[in-house]
Amino acid sequence: MTSAAFVMLSGRPTPRQVPGRYEFRCWPADLPQAASLLQRDWLLTKAEVRSDIYLVSPSSDRHLAKLRDGNRLEIKALRATSYPLQYWELVLSDDFPLSRSSLGTFATELGLTVAPDTRAGRSPAHLMAYLAATHATPRIETVDKSTITFQRGSTRAGITFVTRDQFRALSISVEDEDPHLALEAVSELGLAIYPNQSFGEVLSPRRLGMMTPEPMPDFAAFI
């Protein structure tokens, strides 16, 4: 496979250097053939149900913050793009109470004019209360996820049933540190016909219309 030309997005240095991954995430209206191919040809490694709290801002398509399972602050930054992949770095992953450094990274990545003080970093509840009291930009969105993860070599793929309030959607993801392997998987699974859209894009108000109140397929059927 020929090497793709990458377009760098931001020259701002990351607060903490963490190896990134090339990612692809699509949102098909119906369960595609990729689900059968993953079950047949890939190794099922994990099934997980959790609730993530996303802190959605106008820049969430490039700087995506969430409270993983409601209790760990994680921030990913989009560093490069080459169709159809996106290259994301995990710039922060920290348990509460948060350090001043983590709070500074949080403010920088989300575009806050002032970093929260250490009291806001005592717990997830303190942080969300701070955002609400200061009318900060991030909008709090709780997203329930049921995910089945598959692996082939270094490449991981996931089938996720997503619920936000009464809305539901299906998402399929592929990720690898090697862009060629990620592209190969996207192609073999027949996913290249779909646009690559992160959670930050889909949780924007203009995109919620794509989510429907239709019942999700039976999660147990894929285990």
pLDDT one-digit tens code per residue, 26-72: 999 888 999 999 999 999 999 999 999 999 888 889 999 999 999 99
Q: Please tell me the pTM assigned to this model.
A: 0.83
Q: What is the CA radius of gyration of the chain?
A: 18
pLDDT of residue 18: 53
How many CB atoms sit inside 10 A of residue 8's CB?
9
Domains and CATH numbers, the chain: 8-222 (2.40.320.10)
Query: How many Å apart are CA 66 and CA 141, to the nearest integer?
Result: 9
Exposure class string for 146-166: b at 16+ Cβ within 10 A, else e: bbbbbebeebbbbbbbbbbee
pLDDT of residue 170: 93
Report which secondary-structure segment, H or E, holds 120: none
Report which secondary-structure segment, H or E, holds 184: helix 179-188
pLDDT tens digits, one per residue of 126-179: 999 999 888 777 888 999 999 999 999 999 999 999 998 777 889 999 999 999
